[in-house]
Structure 1
Amino acid sequence: MARTEYYDDPDAPQPNSMVVAASAVVTDERGRVLLQLRRDNGLWALPGGGMDLGESLSGAAVREVREETGLAVEITGLVGTYTDPRHIIAYSDGEVRRQFNVCFRARVVGGSPAVSDESTDVRFVAPEDLDSLPMHHTQRLRLTHFLENRPTPYLG
């Protein structure tokens, strides 16, 4: 299924759903950040996705990281909340969503990096190499906030 992201675009389609989602900035012992190359839009992104009924938001982040990258993680903190109504995500099946995303900090506790059916590549990337990767503005914003090592989470 294809995915198109819009940001502050007057031609973006009107949302027909609201999704609560979680993502995680996972780092390794060298301070590199775990990213996946998304199959649905060809852009690099943090692992994450929608919360299922019956799970916590932090639990959703842990599950999504495992499903999308093969790695087991432990949540260690909060990067921020991302609720900008100018960010619209349209899928080829007709869903057009606004997404409420909570981005966590996490560390690896097990597993091995693996590509999933949602990605074509999974790797740890050094912070100085992040700018060279094609990535949506909203993903880059989360990474920027993480790298700033803010004393309090971003609330936006």
Structure 2
Amino acid sequence: MRKNLRVAAYAICVRDDRILLARSPAADGTPEWVLPGGGMEHGEDPYDTVVREVEEETGYHVEVTALLGVNSLRRTFPGRLLRRPTDHHGVRLLYEARIVGGDLRNEVNGSTDLAAWQDLDAVTGLRRIPLVDAGLRLWRERPAGGRVQPP
């Protein structure tokens, strides 16, 4: 079995009781909401990753205000065609950030197709990845150890 480690950094940007989210197609092509952010490039600092990714996906320039915590995910993906199954381990750093410049826009030719502010009380009704909920819990609870247990 192949092993894959992916380290990524994501932002929780909350303003006026709204959270900044991006929309990305799920494996089946159905759009779902995600936190702005993404994978680190080799040699890149995670702080720089989140700043770069937010700008790429939303058009905003952000200032990181806190490291909220770390979220870890491990799952197995079945092999397809001539590829072996993959044991995937995702390590996601979640930062709080505030908008300091730029203008909201959609990403072009990237992993997301729409960026938008969503009301915090409407998030539970959105089709979203679980990382959105984990990030919001870290933002609300601010655990000293930077980790929240899955519900």
Whether these two folds match at TM > 0.5 is yes
Residue 152 (structure 1) aligns with: 144
Are the structure 2 counterparts of residues 88 and 146 from structure 1 closer, same or farther at C-alpha, using a change threshold of 3 Å?
farther
Write the deviation string for residues 97-145 of structure 1: whole angstroms up to 9, x where unpaired.
Answer: 3211100000001111111132222111121111111112232122222
Structure 1 residue aligned with 2:111, among 106, 118, 130? 118
Residue 18 (structure 1) aligns with: 5
Aligned residues: 139
Q: How large is the Cα RMSD of the aligned pairs?
A: 2.5
Structure 1 CA distance, aligned partners of 2:143 and 2:138? 10
Structure 2 CA distance, aligned partners of 1:89 and 1:100? 16
Are the structure 2 counterparts of residues 118 and 84 from structure 1 closer, same or farther at C-alpha, using a change threshold of 3 Å?
closer
Residue 34 (structure 1) aligns with: 20
Do the aligned partners of 2:8 and 2:40 also contact (CA within 8 Å) in 1? yes
TM superposition outliers: structure 1 runs of 4+ over 4 Å: 87-90
Write the deviation string for residues 43-71 of structure 1: whole angstroms up to 9, x where unpaired.
Answer: 10101111112321111010010111111
Bigger mean CA deviation after superposition, 112-121 or 99-108: 112-121
SS at match of 1:59: helix
Gaps of 5+ in 2: none
Q: Provide the TM-score with structure 1 as the length reference.
A: 0.77
Q: Which structure's CA Rg is the greater one?
A: 2
